A and B are shown apart, each in its own frame.
Chain A
Amino acid sequence: GAVVSQHPSWVICKSGTSVKIECRSLDFQATTMFWYRQFPKQSLMLMATSNEGSKATYEQGVEKDKFLINHASLTLSTLTVTSAHPEDSSFYICSATTGNQPQHFGDGTRLSIL
């Protein structure tokens, strides 16, 4: 149980384009989803917390207009990296929870901006 699917797993795109990453909870309804960013040999850095039907709460230093988060249903949240640049290249991971259980993570999306 508690399966979280993330898509795509790897994306390469040109600088200036926008990229959308999807996070789905497959067998449970996720009241809350989280988006993290992970650099090589570093810990997961929380970017934002997303509750279904409401605006995401962003961590300090994370640009809201750069990283658009939508949590339109209890099983789907999306992260859109707008006008992506090489410094946005990273490993993006989502997690989901019903609230009563620890977070369950997707397999991440490796984003490479050329």
Chain B
Amino acid sequence: QKEVEQDPGPLSVPEGAIVSLNCTYSNSAFQYFMWYRQYSRKGPELLMYTYSSGNKEDGRFTAQVDKSSKYISLFIRDSQPSDSATYLCAMSVGSGGYQKVTFGTGTKLQVIP
């Protein structure tokens, strides 16, 4: 069993839709959770960084963490064609950038105009 599971998609939605992206994980020691966006042939770009359970909102993006279920989500409101990319969840045990990060395989999202 992989430490982090993520549906690879692709997920196609019409412009303006609410998108829900999810990951499950098995290591209960994970406490720091991240979402990265990766455009084709580019490096990942950090979108959200959260600690422990709860919600965090940034513009059209909301990250949710449910540690009891070992389940994290990223919601994108009013999705735009420019949101079309691969979204990677990531998590680590400790804080700080030097901590080893475990990534999901990524979900490919396509927002259709």
How far is B43's CA from A6's CA once the two chains are assembled, in angstroms?
Answer: 10
Beta-carbon contacts under 8 Å, B65-104 to A: 88, 96-98, 100-101, 103-104
Question: Which residue of the partner chain, among A43, A44, A46, A97, contacts B98 with CB atoms under 8 Å?
Answer: A97
Question: Are A43 and B41 in contact, with the CB atoms below 8 A?
Answer: no
A41 contacts B100, C-beta separation under 8 Å: no
> Taking CB as reference atom, which chain B residue is nearest A4?
B43
Does B18 belong to the interface (CB within 8 Å)?
no
From the candidates B42, B88, B97, B104, name the one contacting A101 in the complex (CB within 8 A). Answer: B97
Expressed in whole angstroms, the minimum distance between the Cβ of A1 and any Cβ of chain B is 12
Q: Are A102 and B41 in contact (CB under 8 A)?
A: no
Which residues does chain A contribute within 8 Å of B44, judged by CB atoms? 44, 93, 105
Contact in complex: B42, A43 (CB < 8 Å): no
Cβ contact within 8 Å between B100 and A49: yes
Q: Contacts A107-B42, A108-B42, A110-B41 hold; do A99 and B98 have CB atoms under 8 A apart? A: yes
A-side interface residues toward B, CB under 8 Å? 4, 6, 31-32, 41-44, 46, 49, 51, 91, 93, 95-108, 110
In the complex the two chains form, is B49's CB within 8 Å of A102's CB? Answer: yes
The 10 closest A-B pairs by CB, nearest first: A97-B97, A105-B43, A32-B98, A43-B105, A43-B103, A107-B43, A44-B103, A105-B44, A108-B43, A106-B43
Q: Identify the B interface with A (CB < 8 A).
A: 4, 8, 34, 36, 41-46, 49, 88, 96-98, 100-101, 103-106
Give A36's nearest chain B residue, CB to CB.
B103
* Contact call A99/B43, Cβ cutoff below 8 A: no
B88/A43 in contact, CB under 8 A:
yes
Which A residues touch B101, using CB under 8 A? 46, 102-103
On chain B, the residues within 8 Å of A91 by CB distance are 41
User: How far apart sit A105 and B106, CA to CA, in the bound complex (Å)?
Assistant: 16
Q: How far is the CA of A42 from the CA of B44 in the complex (A)?
A: 13
Q: A93: nearest residue on chain B (CB-CB)?
A: B43
Of the candidates A43, A98, A102, which one forms a contact with B46 in the assembled complex, judged by CB atoms under 8 Å apart?
A102
The distance in angstroms between the C-alpha atoms of A110 and B97, with both chains bound, is 24
